[in-house]
Amino acid sequence: KDTIVETADNMLTLVPQKGDKIILELAFSSASSTLDHLTDTVAELSKKFKDGKGNIALIDPTVAELGMSFAACMKTDREDGLYTTVVCTRSGEALGLVYSSKESIIAALECGRGVYYSRSRKGLWRKGDTSGHYQTLHRLDVDCDGDALRFTVTQKGDDTAAFCHLNTLTCWGEPHGLRHLEGTLQERLKSAPEGSYTKRLFDDSDLLRDKLVEEAQELSEATEPKDVAGELADVLYFAMVRAVKAGVSIDDAVAELDRRTRKVTRRKGDSKAFRIAAGNEILSKSSPENGE
């Protein structure tokens, strides 16, 4: 452990810029080291790497090694030793506040679901086992101070995607903004009232396509901030109708954006003449000159 920590110290002296960081890869053999040795080492390194100076990467860890290493990077002032845990969607919305133990962290990593510690039951709480509102686990993060854990999940549900026992997505009541729009559109897709414009869009692919092109053009031509905001809201509405119709969620789009930020190479991003021509053809159908 001392040799590894000394190596990290030496590496940190070579980091030239404040924004730069190092990544230290650790490979431990279970035959030559104990779990305590690993977690002690990770705990010391996490202190060295505070304030974003570096990251620790474990090479082929077991679930227990990975879970205990997360716990080793954390601290708690609670007498029961539990870690405050914020549960979030992939777009960063907080679903609720729970608590984790070392055992629950390992269990969550082992099954790929949201697993926490229930203070009332005094044991592991695998979200959804009784309610059907289970979670798919995407990642765990320790906050900058090492005193809070974040679970990034996709909330599921047999009837509705609800984290709260009151059958809402979050423990802070009904969602707002895009998430509220997404929920409304999902309801409209299942059962829309008579005369619903959204239902008409779901049923008429040509109309939905035309409105997407039309509203995108209006957004591109808007100049005043208020007008840009209004046209953007229109584009988001029609885009969300298209997404919900295809079974695509906000979180799916966020995951794709995150994936793209990790790409090494990117396309030039020039406009496509055939797409512009197709758009112009659509727009010409609804131009005032055509009496529409």
- Per-residue confidence (pLDDT) for residue 67, from 0 to 100: 94
Pair of tokens at residue 273: 């003449």
Report CA dihedral (203, 205, 206, 210) to the nearest 10 degrees: 110
**Per-residue model confidence as pLDDT tens for the chain (292 residues):** 567 777 777 777 776 566 677 788 887 766 556 888 888 888 888 887 877 778 888 888 999 999 999 999 999 999 999 999 999 999 999 999 999 999 999 999 999 999 999 999 999 999 999 999 999 999 999 998 889 999 999 999 877 889 999 999 999 998 899 999 999 999 999 998 888 999 999 999 999 999 999 999 999 999 999 999 999 999 999 999 999 999 999 999 999 998 888 776 767 777 777 777 777 777 777 655 444 4
Cα 70 from Cα 61, distance rounded (Å):
12
- Per-residue confidence (pLDDT) for residue 291, from 0 to 100: 44
Smallest Cα–Cα separation from 125: which of 134, 116, 133, 113?
116
Report CA dihedral (199, 201, 206, 210) to the nearest 10 degrees: 170
- Per-residue confidence (pLDDT) for residue 87, from 0 to 100: 97
Angle between helices 177-190 and 225-245 (to 10 degrees): 40
36 burial via Cβ count (<10 Å: 0-12, 13-18, 19+): exposed
Cα 128 from Cα 249, distance rounded (Å):
20
Pair of tokens at residue 221: 């031509």
SS3 22: strand
- Per-residue confidence (pLDDT) for residue 194, from 0 to 100: 86
* pLDDT digit string, tens, across residues 154-210: 999 877 889 999 999 999 998 899 999 999 999 999 998 888 999 999 999 999 999
